[in-house]
Structure 1
Amino acid sequence: MAESPSPLPESLREPWYQGVTASHWLIVLIASGGWLFDCMDQRIFVLARQPALQELLGGSADAVVKNWGGWATTMMLLGWATGGIIFGIMSDRLGRVKTMVVTLLVYSGFTGLCGMSRTGYEFLAYRFLVGLGVGGMFGAATTLVAESVPGRFRAIALGSLQALSASGNIIASLLSTVIQPGKQDFLWGLAGWRILFFVGILPAILVVPIVLILREPERWKEAKRRVQEGGGRREHVGSIPDLFRHPTWRRNLLVGVSLGLAGMAGLWGIGFFSPELISAALQGESQEVVDRVRGFATLLQDVGSFCGMLAFTFVAAFVGRKPAFFGAFLLCLGTTIFVFNSLNSAWDAYWMLPLMGFAQLSVFGGYSIYFPELFPTRLRGTGVGFCYNTVRYLAAPFPMMLMYLNSALVAHQVDEPFRKAATILSFLFVLGLVALIWAPETKDQPLPE
């Protein structure tokens, strides 16, 4: 029996706030906390990556440090993709809440261990293990919210979850202005970057409200019960082959992967190298000045990200998912090229990075809204994990590709090689625009069953 969206129920024609209770908001806030602190740990890595590797590699040349930074980012993305598969299946089979607990402990624990790294290879290994937990949290949190709140509230709830994640980035950027990652002997004889990673352990405390307050969605329990009672029907919970067998889910999966790859590779392969862009623009300044500018500029980049995700949520909720993605990917292409070719001072960083953050992170607000709407309940965690996390296998080479292009342009004595390498890779955002040709519009549609 084919699975497909049912006719639009009366509940979806009501105002978005109809039937929304304090309990629904509490679910959104706690789930948002899990993803918020996940993003905080990611931003700590982005800010601490360069000074950490400079120390661990014993003062190697800048090009060598940048190459290792690319590898560290690639290792995290590979772990992220692997965690997306493992914990996406776990989410469908064992539950959304249990998966959130496990992934939270994994990403916070190994973030702390990054601060104990003694060699570059240890650092890379810890980044891979952090990625496992990071990859699982998004799918579990978004499916929990999607299945727990009223239909008309779904886009706003999921968009808010993603927008609030920018607060985690902001917290990390603020921390870096106090705990300067490039400062040696910051505390107890340890460099600032190590202390920053130790702070990343603290989100593990969120396990307490997750266990005490959150409950598995009734929709998930019912879907699991139906599959168990299905007898000879070829339906399974958390099955990757089932995503490919059904033509609708297969098309939706390919659309989601294409949208995800365009945004992921663009952000992690280009946008999150903004600290390195600032360092290049401020050559000759003291490390203290560079750290301060990087901290405040990335903070403002995160404020732009927050606004971008809210803007995407508004357009997606009241106009449509596809128009929101179309406008967002166009902005990604234009702003990324502009910023990487125009940023030349601290003042430029303060006003340009928010523009790039607005564009590049706006599409991530779309992922949290759109991906859970593409798959049935029995496959939702697996499908979201595949689209949001597994694409990182495809996105993982892009940080190294940026550094390879940079090295090749340096070898050919091209002016501003790092900036030109980023410009070339920016055209990856066009993939997202092309994928929209086959993307279904899910506005005002119930979740498929």
Structure 2
Amino acid sequence: MHAPSDTPNLPWWKNLTGYHWFVFIMASMAWVFDCLDQQIFILARNSAMTNLLPPGTDTNVYGGYATAIFIAGWATGGLIFGAVGDRIGRARTLTITVLMYSVFTGLSALSTGWLDFAIYRFITGLGVGGVVGLAVALIADTLPDRSRVGALGAFQALSAIGNVTAGLISIWMGSLIAGKTVSAAWSWKAMFLIGAAPAFLCVLVQLRMKEPEKWVLARAEGRRTGVAFGSYASLFGEARWRHNAIFGMLLCVVGVIGLWGIGFFAPELVGPVIERSLREMHISADNIAAAKARWIGWNSIFQNLGAFCGMLFMAKIAQSHGRKPAFVIAFIAAMVATIGYFQFFNSWTHVFWMSPIMGACQLSLFAGFAIYLPELFPTRLRSTGTSFCYNVGRFIAASGPITIGKLQAALKAGATTPDARIDAFRNAASYMSAVFLLGLVVLIFLPETKGQPLPEDVLPAK
């Protein structure tokens, strides 16, 4: 029996050993560079679609398809590598997934058409999907129980570093375009190449990581008794774990649709709004593309600075008031902030306060997932169950980007002006924001885990 994990009197980092810090940093860097590559895709998506598709093609629709394919790869990778991590080890499998997403992010820059771009994004998604469940399980099983909640909240909050870095890269690309150092048509390729490099280097350091002692001992006992590790038959064959897996997955579906189906389409609103403002200021057409790239980058930075604060706040509320109350607050805040953003963002000045608020509310949910999901499953199924919940719901959530594109297209069918087309996009995003209410329903069927030890089950003999 482990001691309860919630000990609010001491900071979570107190008494961590050097190796604890090494594991936390390496797992966090895997997720930081993962998020960097995700965000680069989001920021470069519209430019890539513009250059890979024939003129006149609706880039928002095909951008939605590419995003859905990426998310489907993410879900598939989560299914595969979560189970592999429970079977052969979290550290070893994490290194494989980081290598996969870094290589194929770089290869995305070599795309010559929409089809090969989509294939590269799917394979990148396979690697991306494996990372978070493995990294969360690695931290949960390596660090002391007392440090788990704070460490996992900080782990998720650090993802904002990758996202902010991607925004800085976008701003830098905008400056290079303005200085005619690179062309707008080539800048998205450069962004993918830059995003691949740090993750590839991270792999070399990760080779030093050992498997958690908790997992090593449990795995040895599992071999002796014949109990299944990383088994979906075991996950769904036992009522307790099946219940947690199904409703944990549904909880994550809501957050993923809200973020990937709505929130991460903010550049498609910011770009036209900024372009309209620039035209009203009589900025030359040659300078508009560079200015848009810079402002989309700034929007991403402020959105993710807000996310960093929101995720740390979520961890604090989850530890002090409980996991389920924290999720209730986060779902309601996410819906209100998202509708407010898409309805009222109409000026470059809104980048500085509306974007951080939406980022804080939407991304806070993901800190909750990092804390809550490993508390629902035993060691032998921790990576499998966490990855299943966090990633497999993306098969359902992959419909979100397609839905917003189709809904926008239907709403703008009669639109004859740029403002009317922007309004159609605003309304599509606002209607979809009702998805956050489903999270409140799902919470009814899930347990409160505050103050409880990580669950374990008796390893049965053959």
Relative to the length of structure 1, the TM-score reads 0.93
**Taking structure 1 as reference, are residues 71 and 445 closer, same or farther at Cα in structure 2, changes over 3 Å only?**
same
- Within a 5 Å distance, the mapping from 1:206-355 to structure 2 comes to 206-212=202-208, 214-231=209-226, 235-284=227-276, 285=278, 286-355=288-357
- Within a 5 Å distance, the mapping from 1:40-59 to structure 2 comes to 40-59=36-55
Equivalent in the alignment of 1:193: 188
Flag structure 1 segments of 5+ consecutive residues without an equivalent: 1-5
**Taking structure 1 as reference, are residues 172 and 87 closer, same or farther at Cα in structure 2, changes over 3 Å only?**
same
CA distance in 1, matches of 2:140, 2:386: 11
1:34 aligns with 2:30: yes
| Equivalent of residue 167 in structure 1, options 158, 161, 166 | 161
CA distance in 2, matches of 1:10, 1:427: 36
Describe the SS at the equivalent of 2:251: helix
Deviating 4+ runs (over 2 angstroms): 8-23, 58-61, 180-190, 282-285, 412-415
Equivalent in the alignment of 2:16: 20
Contact 1:40/1:171 (<8 A) preserved: yes
Describe the SS at the equivalent of 1:229: helix
CA distance in 2, matches of 1:182, 1:116: 20
Alpha-carbon offset, residue 21 of structure 1: 2.5
Which residue identity is paired with 1:230?
T
1:115 aligns with 2:109: yes
**Taking structure 1 as reference, are residues 105 and 443 closer, same or farther at Cα in structure 2, changes over 3 Å only?**
same
CA distance in 2, matches of 1:163, 1:141: 14
CA distance in 1, matches of 2:61, 2:41: 15
Describe the SS at the equivalent of 2:447: coil
Contact 2:175/2:294 (<8 A) preserved: no
RMSD of aligned Cα (Å): 1.9
Which residue identity is paired with 1:199?
I
CA distance in 2, matches of 1:25, 1:317: 21
Equivalent in the alignment of 1:403: 405
CA distance in 2, matches of 1:180, 1:77: 27
Deviations 1:223-246 (A, max 9, x none): 212221115xxx311011211121
1:419 aligns with 2:426: yes
- Within a 5 Å distance, the mapping from 1:42-121 to structure 2 comes to 42-61=38-57, 64-121=58-115
CA distance in 2, matches of 1:393, 1:11: 33
CA distance in 1, matches of 2:40, 2:176: 12
Which residue identity is paired with 1:45?
F
CA distance in 2, matches of 1:408, 1:394: 21
CA distance in 2, matches of 1:339, 1:211: 43
Which residue identity is paired with 1:405?
L
Contact 1:181/1:191 (<8 A) preserved: no
CA distance in 2, matches of 1:201, 1:282: 29
Equivalent in the alignment of 2:281: none
CA distance in 1, matches of 2:80, 2:72: 12
Aligned length: 437
Contact 1:312/1:365 (<8 A) preserved: yes
CA distance in 1, matches of 2:167, 2:33: 13
Equivalent in the alignment of 1:359: 361
